Amino acid sequence: MAGPRPNLLYIMSDQHTQRVIGCYGDRMVKTPALDWLAAQGVTFDNAYTPAPICLASRMSALTACYPVTQECWTNTDILTSERPTMAHALGAAGYLPILVGRLHALGPDQLHGYARREVGDHSTNWVGGIKHEMGVLDKTNDPFRVSLARSGPGQSGYERHDMDVTAAACAVLEELATQRRAGDRRPFSLSIGYMLPHQPYVARQEDYDLYAGKVGLPDLPPPEPDREHPYLRWWRETTETMAVTAEETLRARAAYYGLVTRLDTLIGNVLETLKRLGFAENTLTVYTSDHGDQIGERGLWWKQTFYDEACKVPMILCWPGRLPEGERRGQVLSLVDLTQTVLEAVGAPTLPNADGRSALSVARDGNHPWIEETFAEYCTDAAETWTRNATVQQRMIRTRRWKLIYYHGHRPQLFDMVQDPRETKDLAEEPDYAAVRDALTARVLAGWNPEAIRQRMARRRRDKDLLAAWCKTVNPPDAYRWQMRMEDNWLAG
């Protein structure tokens, strides 16, 4: 790698749907910091999450492995400490990896290769640990109907968490600058984990007012009953979102836009600090999110689906002088590929036995060959109340043209992403597309056995039940936890 080794600034938000950013085409949302980053770097238009749920996606991004490989599918799974992570690889290359904010790892290992961690998660570090109190916003952070009823202007503890994360991240950069002035020339690695724009759909008044009465109803209404996929209909019935009022929809969507703008403001503070301290020119800055949000499209909310609103993620890489400025890439790739890309870029060893592939050559040259295929998984073991005791095994494959979604026990869905990018026409039962459907189904099931996964998760569920009972008795301390206060959560009026 020519030139001095770069610093790394890796920013991951939570539940930021790719469409709601100015540089991705949204003309209403105000995201000047992210738009500036995109103008200075390379933007990937077809980047996907490995799992449309928080913990599973984040553990996949950390390890460059799909859930079936790293064995975390749910928000109550524990990543084994034996599996090397991006932070381990950075450390092996001579970096001192620092994390500020969200990791969303459960179990005794709250570092997974990071040498230092600040602020921590808002939630418990343990399976069965004491949950955070959200007062009037209780349950609005989960896929419950109340998250739409209690939406609008106000404040959630998630925003308060991210304010502290931003302050801590800027303080770390100031500390690193002091060390640099004292003669320490080592490049740094700083990862920042944000909570926004994850629901609660509650935004501070000034941000909410930017969009109230301006963000309209979703573009895509719920399908006709005879055309809706049976699983997705069950999901809407289970979450009591079959009938959401226009008022609730408009309020929640305006708040979501406000949360995106607040997130952008916080990221802008970090980027301004990076520039002011003289780090920007030799820093690889990465922005992405763990998954998206349906925000009402097709009558769906939150994540937990494979539509692009929930499954596509923003992915922006800015590296002055090393990557092109203001260019876009249409190749299909995943967060597991981003991990390997970052490691190659900074001269660290890519992770062995991983599923991801480095796309650094693609970032440099949009004509570089690339196998356009990626997967995402969504599997549950009924450990969380919002699953309503249901266990599911689902997997998506996305190629350059096609997206097939496999629902174990249900018919699949098939979309032509070139002719139908909004996924409005399901072709899975069309005779003319039977060969495409069958070939993609075989590819989805290659090395991925839904019954074996169900059985494996059931066995692990018994282990988790015992760990939860232990936790309730022993009450182990949370080593890295930001303390949320009930008074941090409120609705205006």
Question: Looking at residue 37, what is its pLDDT?
Answer: 98
Q: Are 31 and 261 in contact (CB under 8 A)?
A: yes
CB atoms closer than 10 angstroms to residue 492 = 12
Instruction: Determine the Cα–Cα distance for residues 146 and 149; give it in Å rounded to an integer.
Output: 5
Domain definitions of the chain by residue range: 7-491
Q: Which CATH architecture has domain 7-491?
A: 3-Layer(aba) Sandwich (3.40)
Instruction: Determine the Cα–Cα distance for residues 353 and 258; give it in Å rounded to an integer.
Output: 40
Question: Looking at residue 3, what is its pLDDT?
Answer: 66
DSSP 8-state assignment for residue 350: P
DSSP 8-state assignment for residue 221: P
Q: Which two tokens stand for residue 347?
A: 């001269």
Chain center to CA of 489: 23
Q: Are 103 and 58 in contact (CB under 8 A)?
A: yes
Instruction: Determine the Cα–Cα distance for residues 324 and 367; give it in Å rounded to an integer.
Output: 13
Q: Which two tokens stand for residue 48?
A: 């996907």
Q: What's the alpha-carbon Rg for the chain, to the nearest Å?
A: 21
Q: Are 65 and 355 in contact (CB under 8 A)?
A: yes
Closest CA to 149 of 160, 158, 139, 134: 139
Report yes or no on whether pTM surpasses 0.75.
yes
CA separation, residue 344 to residues 284, 340, 387, 455 (Å): 12, 6, 39, 37
Give SS3 for 8.
Answer: strand
User: DSSP characters for 428-488?
Assistant: TT-GGGHHHHHHHHHHHHTT--HHHHHHHHHHHHHHHHHHHHHHHHH----SSB----GGG
| Strand runs labelled E in 93-188 | 97-101, 116-118, 152-155
464: phi then psi, degrees, rounded to nearest 5: -65, -35
181 Cβ contact partners less than 8 Å away, ≥ 6 residues apart: none
Please state, for a pLDDT cut of 90, what percent of the chain lies above it. 96
Q: Which two tokens stand for residue 438?
A: 């069958």
Instruction: Determine the Cα–Cα distance for residues 224 and 235; give it in Å rounded to an integer.
Output: 15
Instruction: Determine the Cα–Cα distance for residues 21 and 183; give it in Å rounded to an integer.
Output: 39
Instruction: Determine the Cα–Cα distance for residues 489 and 157; give it in Å rounded to an integer.
Output: 5
CA dihedral 244, 245, 249, 251 (to 10 degrees): -130
Q: Which amino acid is at 288?
A: T
Per-residue confidence of the chain (493 residues) as pLDDT tens digits?
556 899 999 999 999 999 999 999 999 999 999 999 999 999 999 999 999 999 999 999 999 999 999 999 999 999 999 999 999 999 999 999 999 999 999 999 999 999 999 999 999 999 999 988 999 999 999 999 999 999 999 999 999 999 999 999 999 999 999 999 999 999 999 999 999 999 999 999 999 999 999 999 999 999 888 899 999 999 999 999 999 999 999 999 999 999 999 999 999 999 999 999 999 999 999 999 999 999 999 999 999 999 999 999 999 999 999 999 999 999 999 999 999 999 999 999 999 999 999 999 999 999 999 999 999 999 999 888 888 888 999 999 999 999 999 999 999 999 999 999 999 999 999 999 999 999 999 999 999 999 999 999 999 999 999 999 999 999 999 999 999 999 999 999 7
